[in-house]
Structure 1
Amino acid sequence: MKKQFYNILDYIIKLESNIAFYPSLISLGGLLFAFIMIYLEGLGVSKYLVDNAPLLVVNNIDTARDLLSTFIGGLISIMVFSFSLVMILLNQASSNFSPRLLPGLISNRRHQLILGIYNATLLYCIFTLVSITPHGDKYQLPGFSVLLAIVFMTVCLASFIYFIHSISQQIQVGTIMDKIFDDAYERLSKLIANEKSAEAKFPDTASWQTVESKKSGYFQDVSLKSLASFAKEKKIKIEIAQIKGVFILKDLPMLRYSGADLDEESIDELLNYFHFSKNELVAENYVLAFKQITEIALKAMSPGINDPGTAINAIDYLTDLFALRMKKLDNSFLFDDDDNAYVSIKTVSFEALIYNVMAALRTYCKHDIIVVQKLFMMLEYLLQQAEAVDVQYKKTIIKEINNLYQDVVNNLQNEADLSVIKSRMMRLKSQNKSDFTI
């Protein structure tokens, strides 16, 4: 029962990122409210208000029908225009920055809520219009419901103004990178806070039983609480063999476990805790933030866009994220009550992460001396931070500085530019007394 609850909870969390989730809930609320008002009108709420507060009631049938018809047509026009703006945003983000940004932009909760408000008001107006009887006196007219429709339409207009403001901000690359950075920083901080010990010991898994994937797809997430509950119940240890975000082919090893063989039913249950998807969100996988920000920098340095300023801003965000990533251990575990590791989670190492980022940036930015200097500044800052964190991290950063220096020297022809880079390397070597290539 507990594992089923965790699975349902994980499913709901994944459903939240769907663009139709909140609009569907709010639209359903608008529909239910329309039926509630129809019921209250049947009890005579408008008749009571006509006698006691006539200003709160629209008591003319033709006026009520004209208002509701105008609202319905206007709302449809607003929704079409808003949808067009969203498509423009997605198209520009995909062409100018990176297609990987689209899932994060689509899952923008504010835009989902605004779309839900439009839909809910539209459904409310439609059913209120249908409830107006063709013939009858003013007391049969749902006058109070019509007044509420006016209020809801006013809210829709305010939401539309806010939507225009929001979409104009969302289309800016600075806002996009800031959102990616915030999500990744929050995710990384949470992972660091949950880490227990750097001295965790985990057995060698080479001889463990292997469970292979039964389908292909991008490994998006795993229900860790359900997996932990399963491991405790079966009294086994588990190693997750794949890294989140990678594309897993059918029959590749998904995990390894110790102990007796599991039956087919238990293996199927175990594999159900792994979620596959075509979309990735930074809030679930911080590594995606490094990929997205790097791709924004690379696109900015392309000849078609040629925007070094955006690349420099992207490097600033990457510097802050790398500094935070160095505080996280390369190995992640789940612990039991006695602080014994019983689930090992494979993660992207710091060395692999910074190499992949720097390899791409070196390739596309080595011709620009301004961006190159920014990259050196990033690596120098990380080198200072690594002094107090991990010796291995320091060696990794020194290796990346040497790689960057080699690419720059082989690419730049101007002696003035080369002298700037060489003097920077000489200073680094004298300060750190490390093996720098000069």
Structure 2
Amino acid sequence: MIKLYNRTLSFFNTIEGKIAFYPTLLALGGFILSFSMMLLEENGVSKMILETFPRLMLQDGDTALTVMSTCVGGIISMMVFSFSMVMLLLSQASSNFSPRLLPGLISDKIHQLILGTYLATIIYFIFTLFSIEPDDEKYTLPGMSILIGILLTIICLGAFIYFIHNISQRIQINNILDDIYSKSKKRLEEVICLEDESSDRLKSTFPDSKNWYSYSTRRSGYFQNISISNVISFCKDEDIQIYITIPKGFFVLSHVPFIYTSREISEEKLKRLLANFNFSRGELVEDNYILAFKQITEIAVKAMSPGINDPGTAINAIDYLTELFTIRMRKKDNGVIVKDEAVYAKIAVVSFEELLYYSMASLRTYTKHDPIIVQKLLWMLGYLLNQNAEQNEYIEIINEEIKALKEDAKHAFGNERDFKAIMNLPIQN
């Protein structure tokens, strides 16, 4: 039951990021509501309300049809406009910032819920219209259903106003950066908390997997997530150890070794093991904090391109990178999975050195011509030198990046004054 629950939860987390998930659920809710109201109308609920609050009921079928038809047409127009605004947001974010931002923007629950509210109301009106005839009198009209439809229309109007406000906020780069940072910080802190205190001591006990049995996946895609508890249970049941060769967030090719096991397993057991891995064609920061470093780095690089030329955005992006690297320095470069003082598996991880190099290599290449940005990068690296590091090697890695950045600046700057300003920055070692 626990394994089934974990797999169901993983599946739900995957489909929840699809733009059609919540609209589909709400549309189904509108369909169910319309038929529920038909059953209540057959039991005379409108007649009882008419006798108690007659002013809430419409008087004839023509008026009811006119009101409901007008509401449907207006909501369809709002839905089309809202959908157009979402597409505009995605297009602008892709062209001005980074295409990697699209999965996170598409999975915004606010946009999905608003579009779903429109769709649910339209479906409710359509099926309610089937029960109205032009010559119906007030005692035979589904007055309660019409009243609920009018209330849903008012809710849609409020949702439309909130949508305009939300879309105007979401399109601002400061809010985009803050959203990426918040999600990645939460995920990174979760990973740090899950690290077992004894994992570093047991790291040396994990055997060499060179002569182990290798297995590949049957499909390609980004290695998005893994059910740790299910993998540990599998290792316990089969009395084996496994090594996962691809870090989370990387693209896994089919028929390329993905898993090494300490002893041979059958095809059926391999399928059961691979069922605990989630692959996708997209990536979300909530599942992989590495993506946040990629996205923020690409935003900074794109901001410094000649077509955009926005140093302010690049500086803001570097500030957020500084905070994320500070948190990352509290994490070990260790992918060993430990449970009850026993080592069951190991996952290849993106080390701090690789993560810092990938970010700094792009930033050095595309921003080294701007002395202000170079000073900001040196300030970031100098700040990291003074932070608590989980491993002493992190400090040496940062010093190497400082040397590389100054070397690039030496060849990029044609002005001696700019170069002296860089070299004279107070960076404590």
- Does TM, normalized by the shorter one, top 0.5? yes
Q: Please say if residues 221 and 280 of structure 2, whose CA atoms lie closer than 8 Å, have aligned partners that are also in contact.
A: yes
Q: Name the counterpart of 2:387.
A: 385
Deviation at residue 377 of structure 1 after TM alignment: 0.5
The 1-side partners of 2:54 and 2:202 are apart by 73
Is structure 2 residue 401 aligned with structure 1 residue 400? Answer: yes
SS in 1 for 2:103: helix
- The structural deviation recorded for 1:216 is 2.2
Aligned to 1:346: 348
Over 3 Å counting, the alpha-carbon distance change for 1:117 and 1:302 in structure 2 is same
What stretches of structure 2 of length at least 5 have no aligned partner? none
Identity %: 51
Matches within 5 A, 1:258-269: 258-259=262-263, 261-269=264-272
Query: 256, 259, 267: which is aligned to 2:260?
Result: 256
- Residue 436 of structure 1 is matched in structure 2 by none
Match of 1:229 in 2: 233
Name the counterpart of 2:414: 413
Q: Is the 8 A contact 1:58 1:144 kept in 2?
A: no
Deviations, residues 56-75 of structure 1 (Å, cap 9, x unaligned): 32232222111100011111
Shift of 1:134: 4.4
What does residue 90 of structure 1 align with? Answer: 90
2:216 is equivalent to residue 215 of structure 1? no
Taking the TM superposition and a 5 Å limit, the aligned residue runs for 1:5-404 are 5-197=5-197, 198-201=200-203, 202-259=206-263, 261-336=264-339, 338-386=340-388, 388-404=389-405
- Give the secondary structure class of the aligned counterpart of 1:348: coil
Would the aligned equivalents of 1:133 and 1:140 in 2 still touch at CA under 8 Å?
A: no
Structure 1 range deviating more: 114-123 or 50-59? 50-59
Deviations 1:378-429 (A, max 9, x none): 000001114x5321000000000000000001111111111111212xx43x
Ranges in structure 1 where 5+ consecutive residues have no aligned partner? 433-438
SS of equivalent to 2:279? strand
**What whole-Å deviation, never above 9, does each CA across 1:254-295 have from its counterpart, x for those lacking one?**
111113x21111112222222221110000010000000000
Deviation at 1:352, TM superposition (A): 0.1
Change (3 A) 1:55 1:334: farther
Map Cα deviations across residues 90-119 of structure 1 (whole Å, 9 max, x no partner): 000111111111000000001101011111
Which amino acid in 2 is paired with 1:368? Answer: D
Question: Following TM superposition, by how much is the alpha carbon of 1:131 offset from its aligned partner in structure 2, in angstroms?
Answer: 1.1
Q: Which SS does the other structure have where 1:200 is aligned?
A: helix
1:201-221 Cα offsets, whole Å, 9 max, x none, are: 322222222112222222222
1:282 and 1:289 in contact (8 A); partners too: yes
CA contact (8 A) 2:10 2:278 kept: no
Amino acid at match of 2:146: V
Secondary structure of 1:215's match?
A: coil
Contact 1:59 1:143 in 2 (8 A): no
Farther off after superposition, 180-189 or 232-241: 232-241
Alignment partners' CA distance in 1, 2:150 and 2:218: 54
Inter-CA distance 136–413: structure 2 relative to 1 (3 Å threshold): closer
Inter-partner Cα distance in structure 1 for 2:276 and 2:63: 57
AA at the equivalent of 2:342:
N
